[in-house]
Amino acid sequence: MTIKTRFAPSPTGHLHVGNIRTALHNWMFARKSGGRFLLRFDDTDAERSKDEYVEAIRADLAWLGLSADEEQRQSTRFDRYEEQFARLKAESRVYPAYETAQELDLKRKIQLGRGKPPIYDRAALELTPEQIAAFEAEGRKPHWRFKLDHAAPITWTDKIRGEQHFDPALLSDPVIRREDGSWLYMLPSAIDDIDMGITHVVRGEDHVANTAVQIQMFHALGAEPPEFAHEALLVGTEGKLSKRLGSLGVSSFREKNIEPQAIVALLARIGTSDPVEPVADVQPLIAGFDFARFGRAPARFDEEELAQLNQKIVHLLAYADVKDRLPQAMDAAAWEVIRPNLHDMGDVEQWWQVVTGPVSTPEMSLEDQEFLSVAHGKLEELETSSELWKELTGALKEATGRKGKPLFMPLRQALTGLDHGPDMNALLPLIGRDVALARLAKAAA
């Protein structure tokens, strides 16, 4: 059996870090098992679903490298839902209910007031044909509920949470369809999971109770339920679900020059018993992916950790990985020299400018100006070579007696305009002898 997972966002907004994590785990598990990964847009809500979000979600997943093998949209499948609904209706597994939202709210309040759980009382099942006719004559339209079978407990072995056990009598019969005929998430999702051959449903633990209900839907539709893995939710550094996480998505990561590899490396591992490691290649992460490594405690997402991981990953990126994002004239050798100095890819321009100029010359003391003028003379005597820095500093040491910081610092400042930066051995050949002469002359003047 081919493993097939799905990521099923509702295109009513942008992806945030929590659902990126779910998408990633579905994708990784499919890739690890040689299976397929389906991107399914849960767009039954015509009001709130927008094509711009469909496109944005596709683009975000593509940027992250999470390629889908197949794409589906629920909005193209209404006929199928209608067909399966008719089947459930014929088998009395769905029933109409006429309570208004206010009536239901009142029932819940009364139950809570009596210290009882707010479970739907199934009053709709007791309606006589006359009562139903009266509601219809009033112009009331029914919403529809799925009738849970109370006969046996609902159980499954969750790949993350282990044995799960629900008493269906403690669950409300879920509303699956609204008065206006529109669908709630629960039934179309189960129909799709069956029709699309989904073998593993990987999603957040906020769906655990939905799973109990959907397991009965699978059976009612004549199918075996898939396997389930419910992962612990993502929390911020303050240890709770924050608004901030809800608004943190690919566009904010891109703005901060976070690489997709860093997001993948972090989200693949937080909440698991494996350490977060700087890896620029997703293959070892896929190879090690295992639901058994996922913990029950919330996964902590720390933006600072992401920034640090990002820096380490940038230091691993090969020229070929970044070539298209570098200044045109910057070659592989220049990338190697500049790379260790980057906090993120946004720093490239700044360091490239140190090579190409102009650089601002800092104020120099008279002694240093004199020293730099000697340096200018020495450099003039030298030929271009990859050893230029060694030769220049060697000659200057001999001529002036300077060593250590007093020898290196004025040179670095004159040549780069900064007092820190790339290894001068590697940087000077990039700057080039002629440009270096001009910079020394300027600083000495």
Q: Which stretch binds ligand GLU (CB under 6 A): 3-11, 145-153, 242-250, 376-384?
A: 3-11
E strands in 261-323: 299-300
Residue (of 206, 208, 308) closest to 266 by Cα position: 308
User: Are residues 234 and 255 in contact, defined by beta-carbon separation less than 8 angstroms?
Assistant: no
Q: Determine if 237 is a binding residue for ligand GLU (CB under 6 A).
A: no
Binding track, positions 9-38, relative to ligand GLU; x by CB under 6 A: xx----------------------------
What does the alpha-carbon distance between residue 259 and residue 397 come to, in Å, rounded to a whole number?
Answer: 43
Say how many residues touch ligand GLU, by CB under 6 A: 8
Burial of 244 (0-12, 13-18, 19+ CB in 10 A): middle
Query: Among residues 203, 339, 376, 378, which is the contact residue for ligand GLU, using CB under 6 A?
Result: 203
Q: Give the span between the Cα atoms of 366 and 410, in whole angstroms.
A: 11
Q: Which of 3, 11, 17, 42 binds ligand GLU (CB under 6 A)?
A: 42
Partners of 154 in the beta sheet?
Answer: 166
For ligand GLU, the closer of residues 198 and 396 by Cβ is 198
Query: Of the two residues 23 and 330, which places its CB atom closer to ligand GLU in the complex?
Result: 23
CB of 349 to ligand GLU, least distance (A): 39
In the complex, minimum distance from the CB of residue 114 to ligand GLU, in angstroms, rounded to a whole number: 32
CA distances 33 to 2, 80, 241, 288, 316, Å, are 8, 30, 31, 11, 27
Q: Which is nearer to ligand GLU, 26 or 416 (CB)?
A: 26
Q: Could you give phi then psi for residue 283, rounded to 5 degrees?
A: -55, -50
**6-35 in b/e burial notation, b at 16+ Cβ within 10 A?**
bbbbbbebbbbbbbbbbbbbbbbbbbebeb
Smaller CB separation from ligand GLU, 8 or 124: 8
CB of 294 to ligand GLU, least distance (A): 16
Choices 8-16, 132-140, 144-152, 270-278; region in contact with ligand GLU by CB under 6 A:
8-16
Q: Which is nearer to ligand GLU, 56 or 354 (CB)?
A: 56
Contacts 24+ apart (CB under 8 A), 54-59: 54/11, 56/14, 56/15, 57/9, 57/11, 57/14, 57/15, 59/250
Contact between 185 and ligand GLU per CB under 6 A: yes
Q: How near is the Cβ of 198 to ligand GLU at its closest, in Å?
A: 9
- Smallest Cα–Cα separation from 39: which of 6, 16, 13? 6
Contact 371, 408 (CB under 8 A): no
Is the CB of 8 or the CB of 248 nearer to ligand GLU? Answer: 8
Binder to ligand GLU among 189, 310, 393, 416 (CB under 6 A)? Answer: 189
Question: CB 41 → ligand GLU: shortest distance, Å?
Answer: 9
Q: Which stretch binds ligand GLU (CB under 6 A): 7-15, 62-70, 141-149, 345-353?
A: 7-15
Burial classification of residue 285, based on how many CB atoms lie within 10 Å of its CB (0-12 exposed, 13-18 middle, 19 or more buried): buried
d(CA 148, CA 173): 6
- Nearest-approach distance from CB 432 to ligand GLU, in angstroms: 56
Q: Nearest residue to ligand GLU, using CB?
A: 42
Q: Least separation, in Å, of the C-beta of 19 and ligand GLU?
A: 7
Q: How far is the CB of 296 from ligand GLU (least distance, A)?
A: 19
Which DSSP letter does residue 144 get? E
Q: Does 225 bind ligand GLU (CB under 6 A)?
A: no
Smallest gap from residue 7 Cβ to ligand GLU (A): 7
* Closest to 21 measured CA to CA, from 214, 258, 300, 312: 300
Of residues 311, 306, 309, the one with CA closest to residue 347: 311
Please report, as ranges, the residues that interact with ligand GLU according to CB under 6 A. 8-10, 42, 185, 189, 203, 207
